[in-house]
Amino acid sequence: MRQKSNHELLEEMHRRIDHLGRKLEMVIEGQDEVLKLLTARESTFRSFPSSGSLDVMALLHLPDHLRKTAMVLIEKGSATASDISKETMRSRAVESHHLNELVRMGFLRKFKKSRTVYFSIE
Amino acid sequence: MAKVISVHSFRGGTGKTLISANLAAIFASKGHNVCLLDLDFRAPTLYSLFGLEKSSFFLNDYLNGSCDIRDILIDVTQKYSTKGRFLVAAANPDMTVIQEITMKDRKWEMMALRRLVLLRTGFFNDENVDYGILDTSPGVQYSSINALASSDLALIVTSLDKSDLKGTSDMISRFIKVFEKKALILANKVPGDIPSLLQSNEKDKLMEELATSLGSSILEAIPCYCDLLRQRGSKIFALEMPRHPFVRALTPVAEALEAF
């Protein structure tokens, strides 16, 4: 098999660097999109009048993933992330994240009973 | 598991309550167990339509948490000789109570939503209720959005008025699809010559026009029957005059809801 000349190797290197450059641009563009979405979501949350009551108007303002969690908790009154995950068919870790987000937004109360963490609408 | 249907409209006067009561009556006549709830707290009607003036507890009391749902339901099965069990919960028509409901805070509304949601897994399940029909207050009201959020599907009653069609379309995208509920649209009080409206080609043309302006299909178009208005809200046609053309027009709607 013929060995590549230095010139050919250099051209190959340029091609690969160009290819990597294009991929990097795509990653940066993707990050910009994610950043835009996160900023929009944060501004929605900031503008939302949180008074601590998870009423139907609050539910309408929530993003879909949190609304699903919130609707189950409204029915249960208080529950663990595991209880909610059984109804939503999402993982316990995902529900735990959503429930904590709702706590941060001021809609839920979090408390411990023995060593179990509960979330409550009251 | 009960199927919970909210009957709602963007504007008042579309015949929503008459549709709710007669749909519930059709279901009960067919042998289904039905529970009809008056969530139109601003303009209660079911107490007078079913002659429940002597009720001591109302749906308001259940949502307040001051009584059990069993305390407020009136069993009209024997009165109307329906095959299935027919239960009705009236809203309180007292003007002071109507005024009070407009001043409830967000926490009360949250608990009211919870009590509505709990009916499905609680009372409806325990008592083998097949259909829970929620008659709502028109437009965008807390009690109506609570009903939409706690039901499986919404039957939206609209007139042919342009503003009603626009409001109906906006309401579906803003308040029904958000809760991942299905909306079925029923055009009621359609003016014009009834015989020609009942001819399939005329009706199909109208349904197509409406579907285009609403952006979703129409379940049925029911003509405006003057004799319904002449009864002044005192008759459940599906029970007292089951052969009336209004009942015949509403029967396919009940069948579509059963099949849904």
Q: Mutation test of the interface with chain B: which of A44, A55, A75, choosing the one with the most B Cβ atoms within 10 A?
A: A55
* B114 close contact with A: CB closer than 8 A: yes
Contact B107 A53 (CB under 8 A): yes
In the block, which residue shows the tokens 């979090």?
A: A110
What's the complex ipTM? 0.83
> What residue segments make up the domains of chain A, in order of their start?
1-47, 56-120
Least confident of A4-18, A30-44, B18-32, B142-156: A30-44
Report pLDDT digits (tens) over B122-155: 999 999 999 999 999 999 999 999 999 999 999 9
Q: Mutation test of the interface with chain A: which of B63, B105, B114, B137, choosing the one with the most A Cβ atoms within 10 A?
A: B114
**Residue A51 pLDDT exceeds 60:** no
Phi/psi at B176 (5° precision): -110, -50
**Residue B196 pLDDT exceeds 90:** no
What residues in B contact A55, CB-CB < 8 Å?
106-107, 109-110, 113, 142
> Which positions ≥6 away from A102 have C-beta within 8 Å?
A54, A66, A69, A70, A73, A108, A119
Q: Which of A52, A56, A67 is nearest residue B113 as measured by Cβ atoms? A: A56
Give the percent of chain B with pLDDT over 90: 68
* A105 close contact with B: CB closer than 8 A: no
- What torsion do the CA atoms of B184, B233, B34, B126 make, to the nearest 10 degrees? 110
CATH class of the domain comprising B3-259: alpha beta
CATH class of the domain comprising A56-120: mainly alpha
Report pLDDT digits (tens) over B47-67: 999 988 777 889 999 999 999
Contact B142 A121 (CB under 8 A): no
Q: What is the mean pLDDT of residues A103-112?
A: 94
